[in-house]
Amino acid sequence: MPDRIYNFSPGPATLPQEVLKQASKDIVNFNDKGIGLIELSHRSKEFMAVADEAESLVRELLEVPDNYKVLFLQGGASTQFAMIPMNLLGADQKGTYLNTGTWAKKAIKEANIIAQADVAYSSEDTTFNHVPAQGDYSVADDSEYLYFVTNNTIYGTQFKDMPVSDKMLIADMSSDILSRKIDISKFGIIFAGAQKNMGPAGVTVVIIREDLLDRAPETLPTMLRYKTHADKGSMFNTPPCFAIYCVGLVCKWVKANGGVEAMAKMDAEKAAILYDMIDSTDFYKGHAQQDSRSLMNVTFNLPSPELETQFIAEAAAQGLDGLKGHRSIGGCRASIYNAFPKQGVLDLVAFMQEFEKNNS
């Protein structure tokens, strides 16, 4: 087994080696100050500089307009499923949702507890193997927003083009943020759990338009208000300091390697190598329809569940780890986020070719 395996896990996922090395140093002795990063007070000038730099880099890389706040929150992306309708909807109001996978379904469930979720489209009857085209759904006139998940980790689907609507867009970008350019001004809220494409688990980045901060009802608890965190610069309570610091390091790495546009090109090249392998044979079969294929999570099946189990085990023994598909659908899944090296994809393809040869 090599010292460093290729981690195809969907999250927590691969981080850049430069980030891991710098973090391992700073966690013991931050900036040669004789104190570890995770021991610093979150209100110290040293950590405030870390948080400010992380926010500045997120703004720069994603070209966040000045009338948006960037928040570093806890509770994972799953907490945002509830916070969004809590802050934006009254009990008699509705949001429109596109049901394209597990995480969209969970968001719909939470919205229906608080207000009303109008499901304008669902691909559940085809095991979420595609996302809708623009003309496949309509947004209710009395809806406050259109909510969708840009990339679906479990099923390996992704919106190639963002939906267009007269209504405010809200997007869960947990698994493809920083992988392509987006027009933030089209959105009311964008959020992303960091542990897939941005950093380690523990922090969720929320980008919210400032005018939405005052829409929360007075009855909403303090910690569940976006305004609470915006007014205090994400420091209302002790934030996830280490995770925020790592988001900053990952953003530095993205910037040093050409920014979001360079990531998009690199991700497309990696995904094409793997999809070309899948399409070249009947032994492997992709789950997602071709026009909905994700560049982040490549999902596929082998001729039988038994062969899939064997494939996953033999791959892991060769340092190709984390290829087991989600428990809800089985099969195999290769997550190849920004930080995942191209050589790992090439090695996986070589293994796939050899495995097919030995088991056909």
Q: Which residues contact 344 (CB under 8 A, 6 or more apart)?
A: 6, 8, 320, 336
User: Mapping DSSP to helix (H, G, I), strand (E, B) and coil, where does residue 11 land?
Assistant: coil
**Inside any domain, residue 6:** no
**Inside any domain, residue 5:** no
User: Mapping DSSP to helix (H, G, I), strand (E, B) and coil, where does residue 348 land?
Assistant: helix
Mark whether 36 and 84 lie in a shared domain: yes
Q: What is the CA radius of gyration of the chain?
A: 21
Mark whether 275 and 331 lie in a shared domain: yes
Q: Which position among 26, 94, 103, 176 bears the catalytic label?
A: 103
Out of 195, 224, 256, a domain closes at 256
Q: Are 148 and 101 in contact (CB under 8 A)?
A: no
**Inside any domain, residue 288:** yes
Give 63's strand partners.
none
Q: Which position among 172, 176, 253, 267 bears the catalytic label?
A: 172
The pLDDT assigned to 328 comes to 84
In tens digits, what is the pLDDT along the chain, a chain of 360 residues? 568 999 999 999 999 999 999 999 999 999 999 999 999 999 999 999 999 999 999 999 999 999 999 999 999 999 999 999 999 999 899 999 999 999 999 999 999 999 999 999 999 999 999 999 999 999 999 999 999 999 999 999 999 999 999 999 999 999 999 999 999 999 999 999 999 999 999 999 999 999 999 999 999 999 999 999 999 999 999 999 999 999 999 999 999 999 999 999 999 999 999 999 999 999 999 999 999 999 999 999 999 999 999 999 999 999 999 999 998 889 999 999 999 999 999 999 999 999 999 998
- The count of residues in the chain is 360
Mark whether 138 and 202 lie in a shared domain: yes
Q: What is the pTM of this model?
A: 0.97
CA dist list (Å): 80 to 90, 161, 190: 16, 23, 10
CATH number at residue 108: 3.40.640.10
User: Mapping DSSP to helix (H, G, I), strand (E, B) and coil, where does residue 110 land?
Assistant: helix
Out of 256, 271, 297, a domain closes at 256
Mark whether 164 and 265 lie in a shared domain: no
Domain count, the chain: 2
Query: How far apart (Å, rounded) are the C-alpha atoms in residues 33 and 37?
Result: 10
**Inside any domain, residue 283:** yes
CATH number at residue 304: 3.90.1150.10
CA dist list (Å): 96 to 44, 125, 137, 168, 293: 42, 19, 10, 10, 24
Out of 208, 223, 256, a domain closes at 256
> Nearest Cα to 112, choosing from 145, 89, 144?
89
Q: Which position among 196, 227, 252, 324 bears the catalytic label?
A: 196
**Inside any domain, residue 164:** yes
The pLDDT assigned to 91 comes to 87
Query: How far apart (Å, rounded) are the C-alpha atoms in residues 283 and 352?
Result: 10
Mark whether 119 and 35 lie in a shared domain: yes
Query: How far apart (Å, rounded) are the C-alpha atoms in residues 30 and 38?
Result: 9
Mark whether 156 and 65 lie in a shared domain: yes
> Nearest Cα to 101, choosing from 187, 188, 10?
10
Mark whether 70 and 196 lie in a shared domain: yes
**Inside any domain, residue 8:** no
Query: How far apart (Å, rounded) are the C-alpha atoms in residues 46 and 156?
Result: 40
Mark whether 179 and 318 lie in a shared domain: no
Mark whether 215 and 287 lie in a shared domain: no
**Inside any domain, residue 213:** yes
Distance of CA 224 to the CA centre of its chain: 21
103 catalytically annotated = yes
Q: Whole domain around residue 287: which residue ranges? A: 258-359
**Inside any domain, residue 7:** no
Torsion, CA 174, CA 179, CA 182, CA 188, rounded to 10: 10
136 catalytically annotated = no
The pLDDT assigned to 81 comes to 98
Mark whether 39 and 124 lie in a shared domain: yes
Mark whether 231 and 195 lie in a shared domain: yes
Give 207's strand partners.
70, 190
Mark whether 43 and 144 lie in a shared domain: yes
Q: Are 352 and 277 in contact (CB under 8 A)?
A: yes
